[in-house]
């Protein structure tokens, strides 16, 4: 029997447990709706009794007469369709209200017949109504009430504490559940501010006042047009009195404004048709809501940078639905805005709200995803991207470890998504993303290491799959802009946080330094996946990434063999045919179009890249004690290559050969310069401290090779400046801009199979 029971339990958990829990949650919501309706009925009964119009059908005070067994009128199908909830009755007149969640061990008292009937009917009508409806009645109907949460804390404090620590949002089913409580809180504050006067009103005046209140409640159910006067009134109340009631009305109107021009069949309390009113409402809401929240719930920041908000206070619990509703509206508004100024204003107002949202992880994750989408959108301006990044960084600073990890993962995913298309117009934005995101990985070295290791390992898995898979298209998972920018991004991260200066400031070695070796190995493997002339631009991109990493961390990475392989290709050794094509822009290309192969213009461009990168590599070790030995093999190889290139069967490219000849001279001169200074040292090669201190602090720009590299950099900068000015001039005139974009993206038109076949023939 025990085995059968366990098997049945496992089967139930596998097939029916999820549905049962969902039905139980729906049942809890329905019970709360019934309780609120009973409260209204009781209130209406009191009003009717006060007016002398109490009738039996209006609902009198006192316990209802018990009826027969509530299961008597139910069929088996009706019973099981309602879940496993048992109908309840009020055992006593002053019994506590049923809670949204209860312990399984506690039997539920039976409800009144009227509640049982409503509950049965409500189960058939599930799911419940949308939480986006804007009337006050619906705001009150939905969600777990404050009384229910307080009662749960009294009856079962352990369970309440567990929910609060592990799933705080369970205590609050809907963002609009208790918006009405803000009115009461604000009203009590206003009453305290008013002078207390004894007002003697007649019974007739009281009746008239109650009728006016009922009429106003009916009017609130209808849509109200927002006017300038209303916005001005709300602004004055929020500015002068920090009114919570005015803030509630502003939040409800802002919710309607955020969903304006949407035809989804949803009704809101307010409507906005005037563009000026819409603009005023947005400005008032975005600027004043954080100020009112700061007044009533001040945020305290410790010297260590930790944020503290009194989340246990009654006022915070009351304002929670209002805060979540406003945040959801802001998030939705961000997805619809196109004006850069409004988008920047909206993003800047999220920062003050973040400390209040820390308990609500689900809301924060939605905000992070929306903000990261704006940050990674190529159409966003630089100022907007920086503003969005500041929001993400602020959240990573004040959040806990789990939230910080979620932020890093979302940022990396946004970076990869935003780097899909790289052109002359988007390259600056992509570099901005990489440089800004790299900062986040240093906020928490432990989380930074775990996430960095995971993502670098993912890149390695893709590379291994591409190598082991014999399919023709398998290499495309590696040879694309997203993979290239991912490797370049990790070089940025490691270069920023593993530099000797930063480690000296921290007083210890960075945890991220352990990621240098795997990142370098994956990058080297990606370079050699397809060693053909078509993908020489990709190799140059990855060499630059490793140069950055080597320069910042002082790690020696053997890059000279990778560049000598380029010179050994048939593309550089054979005579090239003339071409009228524009020079290929290697900065925004990772493969050469077919029309460029075997052409003089492509050979010139590849030669320039090789000379530049070899110079940048050797200048890193221009002051090293081993500089002569490091440069000797490369000098021998280059001289041999120049001899072959100058022959009749060589490339006969005077421009490339002359540039390489000058580079060889500078490397030799730098080696001799180091040898002269080595003759003056008094330490042996085994003295590591002496070797590391050789020429330490000497400016590399003053070395023979360093002076040459500095001059080459200035020439390239001047050339790039002239090309950029010419491109902008063409864009202004409207001529040639389209042609330039087509040249940049010509590689997308070429069939990769044909390119590989041509390279194999070489």
Confidence of residue 162 (pLDDT cuts 50, 70, 90): low
Confidence of residue 312 (pLDDT cuts 50, 70, 90): confident
User: How far is it, in rounded angstroms, from Cα 406 to Cα 450?
Assistant: 12
pLDDT at 649: 87
The encoded tokens of residue 360 equal 């609500």
pLDDT at 412: 98
pLDDT at 428: 93
Instruction: Name the percent of the chain lying above pLDDT 90.
Output: 54
For residue range 316-360, list pLDDT tens digits in order. 999 999 999 999 999 999 999 988 999 999 999 999 999 999 999
pLDDT at 726: 85
Residues 6+ apart with CB under 8 A from 392: 368, 371, 372, 375, 407, 411, 440
For the beta carbon of residue 716, count every other beta carbon within 10 angstroms: 12
Q: Lowest-pLDDT range, 212-226, 300-314, 593-607, 616-630? A: 212-226
- 59 DSSP 8-state letter: -
Question: Phi first, then psi: what are they for 146, rounded to 5°?
Answer: -65, -40
Residues 6+ apart with CB under 8 A from 364: 354, 357, 358, 395, 399, 403
Picking from 586, 615, 590, 616, the residue whose alpha carbon sits closest to that of residue 601 is: 586
Spell 205-230 as b/e; 16+ CB within 10 A means b: eeeeeeeeeeeeeeeeeeebebeeeb
Residues 6+ apart with CB under 8 A from 37: 118, 141
For residue range 24-57, list pLDDT tens digits in order. 888 888 888 888 888 888 877 776 766 554 444 4
* 109 and 89 Cβ atoms separated by less than 8 Å: yes
The encoded tokens of residue 750 equal 């070429």
pLDDT at 306: 81
pLDDT at 167: 57
Pairing status of strand 270-271 against strand 224-225: parallel
Picking from 145, 213, 410, 185, the residue whose alpha carbon sits closest to that of residue 296 is: 185
pLDDT at 381: 93
Query: In which element (H, E) is residue 111 found?
Result: none
pLDDT at 456: 98
pLDDT at 524: 97
Does the N-terminal peptide bond of residue 127 adopt cis geometry, omega within 30 degrees of 0?
yes
For residue range 619-636, list pLDDT tens digits in order. 999 999 999 999 999 999
pLDDT at 145: 52
Q: Is the pLDDT of residue 544 over 80?
A: yes
Q: Looking at per-residue confidence, does 657 or 173 come out higher?
A: 657
User: How far is it, in rounded angstroms, from Cα 312 to Cα 326?
Assistant: 20
pLDDT at 73: 53
Confidence of residue 460 (pLDDT cuts 50, 70, 90): very high
Q: Is the pLDDT of residue 746 over 70?
A: no
Domains along the chain with CATH numbers: 2-135 (no CATH), 180-188+221-399 (1.25.40)
pLDDT, average across residues 658-662: 96
User: How far is it, in rounded angstroms, from Cα 135 to Cα 223?
Assistant: 8
H-only helix segments in 337-480 = 340-348, 354-357, 361-375, 382-398, 401-418, 427-440, 445-468
Picking from 472, 491, 478, 568, the residue whose alpha carbon sits closest to that of residue 527 is: 478
pLDDT at 22: 83
Q: Lowest-pLDDT range, 22-36, 72-86, 283-297, 726-740? A: 72-86
C-alpha dihedral sign at 480, 371, 436, 550: negative
Pairing status of strand 270-271 against strand 300-301: unpaired
Q: Is the pLDDT of residue 81 over 60?
A: no
H-only helix segments in 134-227 = 136-141, 146-155, 157-166, 180-193, 203-221
Q: Is the pLDDT of residue 616 over 60?
A: yes
Q: Is the pLDDT of residue 751 over 50?
A: no
User: How far is it, in rounded angstroms, from Cα 501 to Cα 495?
Assistant: 11
Residue written as token pair 């800047």: 348
Q: Is 383 helix (H, G, I), strand (E, B) or coil?
A: helix
- 349 DSSP 8-state letter: T
pLDDT, average across residues 199-220: 43
Q: Lowest-pLDDT range, 106-120, 280-294, 402-416, 641-655? A: 106-120
pLDDT at 23: 82
Picking from 103, 107, 66, 109, the residue whose alpha carbon sits closest to that of residue 91 is: 109
Picking from 120, 158, 162, 164, the residue whose alpha carbon sits closest to that of residue 144 is: 164
Q: Is the pLDDT of residue 82 over 50?
A: no
pLDDT at 192: 40
* 322 and 182 Cβ atoms separated by less than 8 Å: yes
Rounded to the nearest integer, the mean pLDDT of the chain is: 79
Q: Looking at per-residue confidence, does 310 or 755 come out higher?
A: 310
For the beta carbon of residue 283, count every other beta carbon within 10 angstroms: 14
Q: Which of 172-176, 197-201, 390-394, 733-737 has the highest mean pLDDT?
A: 390-394
Confidence of residue 154 (pLDDT cuts 50, 70, 90): confident
For residue range 574-612, list pLDDT tens digits in order. 999 998 999 999 999 999 999 999 999 999 999 999 999
Q: Is the pLDDT of residue 100 over 60?
A: no
Q: Is the pLDDT of residue 180 over 70?
A: no
User: How far is it, in rounded angstroms, from Cα 224 to Cα 269?
Assistant: 6
DSSP states of 66-81 = P-S-TTTT--HHHHHH
pLDDT at 627: 93
Pairing status of strand 307-308 against strand 300-301: antiparallel
């Amino acid at each position: 029997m025990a085995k059968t029971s366990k098997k049945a339990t496992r089967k139930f958990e596998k097939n029916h447990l999820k549905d049962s829990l969902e039905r139980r949650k729906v049942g809890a919501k329905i019970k709360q709706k019934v309780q609120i309706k009973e409260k209204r009925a009781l209130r209406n009964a009191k009003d009717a009794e006060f007016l002398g119009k109490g009738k039996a059908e209006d609902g009198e005070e006192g316990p209802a007469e018990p009826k027969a067994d509530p299961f008597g009128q139910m069929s088996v199908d009706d019973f099981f369709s309602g879940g496993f909830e048992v109908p309840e009755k009020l055992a006593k007149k002053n019994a506590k209200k049923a809670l949204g969640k209860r312990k399984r061990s506690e039997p539920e008292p039976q409800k009144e017949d009227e509640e049982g009937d409503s509950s049965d009917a409500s189960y058939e009508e599930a799911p419940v109504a949308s939480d986006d409806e804007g009337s006050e009645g619906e705001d009150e109907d939905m969600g777990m009430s404050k009384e229910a949460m307080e009662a749960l804390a009294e009856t079962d404090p352990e369970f309440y504490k567990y929910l609060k620590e592990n799933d705080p949002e369970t205590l609050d089913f809907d963002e609009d559940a208790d918006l009405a409580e803000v009115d009461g809180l604000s009203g009590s504050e206003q009453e305290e501010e008013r002078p207390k006067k004894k007002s003697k009103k007649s019974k007739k005046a009281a009746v008239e006042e109650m009728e006016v209140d009922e009429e106003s409640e009916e009017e609130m159910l209808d849509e109200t047009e927002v006017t300038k006067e209303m916005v001005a009134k709300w602004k004055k109340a929020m500015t002068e009195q920090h009114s919570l009631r005015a803030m509630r009305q502003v939040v409800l109107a802002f919710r309607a404004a955020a969903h304006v021009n949407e035809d989804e069949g949803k009704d809101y309390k307010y409507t906005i048709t005037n563009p000026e009113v819409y603009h005023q409402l947005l400005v008032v809401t975005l600027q004043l809501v954080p100020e009112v929240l700061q007044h009533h719930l001040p945020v305290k920041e410790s010297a260590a940078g930790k944020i503290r908000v009194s989340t246990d206070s009654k006022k915070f619990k009351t304002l929670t639905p209002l805060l979540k509703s406003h945040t959801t509206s802001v998030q939705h508004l961000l997805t619809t805005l196109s004006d850069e100024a409004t988008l920047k204003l909206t993003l800047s107002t999220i920062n003050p709200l973040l400390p209040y949202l820390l308990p609500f992880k689900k809301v924060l994750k939605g905000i992070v995803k929306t903000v990261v989408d704006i940050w990674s959108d190529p159409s966003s301006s630089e100022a907007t991207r920086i503003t969005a990044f500041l929001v993400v960084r602020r959240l990573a600073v004040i959040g806990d470890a789990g939230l910080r990890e979620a932020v890093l993962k979302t940022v990396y995913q946004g970076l990869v998504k935003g780097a899909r298309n790289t052109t002359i117009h988007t390259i600056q934005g992509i570099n901005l993303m990489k440089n800004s995101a790299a900062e986040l990985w240093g906020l928490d070295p432990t989380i930074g290491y775990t996430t960095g290791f995971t993502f670098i390992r993912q890149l390695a898995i893709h590379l291994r799959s591409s190598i082991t898979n014999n399919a023709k298209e398998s290499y495309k998972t590696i040879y694309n802009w997203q993979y290239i920018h991912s490797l370049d991004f990790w070089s940025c991260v490691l270069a920023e946080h593993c530099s000797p200066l930063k480690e000296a400031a921290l007083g210890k070695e960075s945890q991220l330094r352990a990621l240098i070796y795997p990142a370098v190995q994956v990058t080297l493997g990606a370079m050699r996946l397809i060693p053909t002339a078509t993908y020489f631009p990709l190799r140059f991109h990855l060499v630059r990434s490793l140069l950055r990493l080597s320069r910042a961390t002082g790690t020696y990475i053997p890059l000279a063999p990778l560049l000598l392989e380029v010179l050994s290709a048939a593309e550089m050794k054979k005579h090239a045919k003339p071409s009228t094509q524009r020079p290929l822009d290697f900065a925004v290309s990772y493969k050469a179009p077919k029309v460029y192969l075997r052409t003089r213009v492509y050979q010139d461009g590849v030669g320039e890249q090789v000379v530049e990168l070899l110079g940048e590599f050797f200048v890193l070790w221009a002051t090293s004690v081993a500089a002569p030995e490091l440069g000797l093999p490369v000098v021998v190889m280059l001289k041999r290559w120049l001899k072959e290139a100058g022959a009749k069967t060589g490339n006969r490219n005077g421009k490339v050969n002359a540039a390489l000849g000058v580079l060889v001279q500078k490397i030799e001169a730098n080696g001799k310069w180091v040898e002269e200074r080595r003759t003056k040292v008094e330490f042996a090669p085994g003295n590591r401290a002496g070797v590391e201190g050789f020429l330490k602090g000497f400016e590399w720009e003053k070395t023979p090779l360093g002076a040459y590299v500095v001059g080459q950099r200035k020439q390239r900068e001047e050339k790039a400046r002239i090309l950029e000015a010419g491109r902008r001039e063409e864009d202004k005139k409207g001529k040639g801009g389209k042609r330039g974009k087509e040249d940049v993206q010509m590689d997308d038109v070429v069939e990769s199979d044909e390119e590989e076949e041509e390279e194999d023939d070489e």
